[in-house]
Structure 1
Amino acid sequence: MKYIIASFLLVLISCGNTNPQEKTEDPNLQKLMDTFFEKYKTNPGEAVDFIFGTNTDIAPEQVKELKEKLSTISVLAGKFYGQEQITSQKATSSLVYFSFLVKHDKPIRFIFMFYKPKDKWKIYKFKFDDQVDAELEESGKVYFIK
């Protein structure tokens, strides 16, 4: 019985950060995301311009296409009510992943990957979809090592 309890505690500890209210360790990165969502509240296109302003390697045509898709999905999803962090993962001190539940009448999931090559964070990847349940289902799976 002790081994089962110890194994269960070990699994819980190793699950990583899943607290939706937890802030990032880096205040600069937290400010980027807070500003993004503040802009998103009134103008999704402006929010995309803001976040991609951190990475000049992205082609303007790609940003334009992304803005159009996000504006469309935002309208189809209905009224915006806020966001909650689903999870965050720190691959290294220079590469981090965030997933957010973006609360509209219909939920949307936003995925951000940030990279810090030197001293400033820049967006590395930004995706959105309506597959909020996929991440939740995946996190609910239990894997056993034999």
Structure 2
Amino acid sequence: MKNFIVLILIVISSSSFYAQSSPEEMVEKFFEKYKTEGSTTALNYLYSKNDWVSQSSDDVILLKNQMEALKEDYVGKYYGYELILEKNLSDSYVLKSYLVKYGRQPLRFTFQFYKPNDVWVFHGFSYDANLIEEVKEAAKLYNFRLH
């Protein structure tokens, strides 16, 4: 009986820890899986954090296939990631954008998280290579106040 109670306490404590994943923890776990197990496993992890999103929808399958194409011979060696932007629309919605460092060029991974009640859920993911063009555009003179 004592072992049964200990087992129940372990299950309860581990499930409450799981439910309290913050956006930062989810992103960290995503990149850990991305580096060690590949993009499909990392995306499966993200999509498992939202019961309303199907991991096998056509859009998700397309995204997984596109991410799988980011091989070392195409973008270079993976070197890590850095937070470049975080926008909190409210206490319940956050967007986090990361510079993902590859040998050939940087990419941007953007994550969205939503807290409908008391638990954060994954809400969206995208990636693109437009970061360099956006920085060039931002550097143009018409974006600055001239005296």
Distance 1:134-1:115 versus aligned 2 partners, 3 A rule: farther
CA distance in 2, matches of 1:36, 1:74: 18
Compute the RMSD of aligned alpha carbons.
2.2
What does residue 37 of structure 1 align with?
Answer: 31
1:71 aligned to which of 68, 72, 87: 68
C-alpha distance 29-134 of structure 1, shift in aligned 2 (>3 A): same
The change in CA–CA distance for 1:93 and 1:68 in structure 2 (over 3 A counts) is: same
What CA distance in whole angstroms lies between the structure 2 residues aligned with 1:107 and 1:90?
24
Tell me by how many angstroms 1:102 deviates: 0.4
Confirm or deny: 8 A CA contact 1:111 1:127 kept in the other structure.
yes
Task: Give how far 1:137 is off.
Answer: 4.4
How far the C-alpha of 1:64 sits from its partner, in A, is 2.1
Aligned length: 119
SS in 2 for 1:91: strand
Contact conserved, 1:114 with 1:124, CA < 8 A, in 2? yes
Distance 1:137 1:95 in 2: 29
Tell whether the 8 Å contact from 1:49 to 1:63 is kept in structure 2 after alignment: no
Equivalent in 98, 102, 105 of residue 104 of structure 1: 102
The structure whose Rg is larger is 2
2:50 to 31, 55, 62: 55
TM-score (norm 2): 0.71
- Normalized against structure 1, the TM-score is what? 0.72
Go from structure 1 to structure 2 and tell me whether the alpha carbon gap of 1:57 and 1:135 turns closer, same or farther (over 3 Å shift): farther
2:129 is the counterpart of 1:130: yes
Does the 8 Å CA contact 1:87/1:98 hold for their aligned counterparts?
Answer: yes
Q: State the 4+ residue runs in structure 1 displaced beyond 6 angstroms.
A: none
In structure 2, runs of 5+ residues without a counterpart are: 1-19
Partner of 1:85: 83
* Matched-pair contact (CA < 8 Å) for 2:21–2:119: no
Compared with structure 1, are the counterparts of its residues 110 and 137 closer, same or farther at alpha carbon in structure 2 (3 Å cutoff)? same
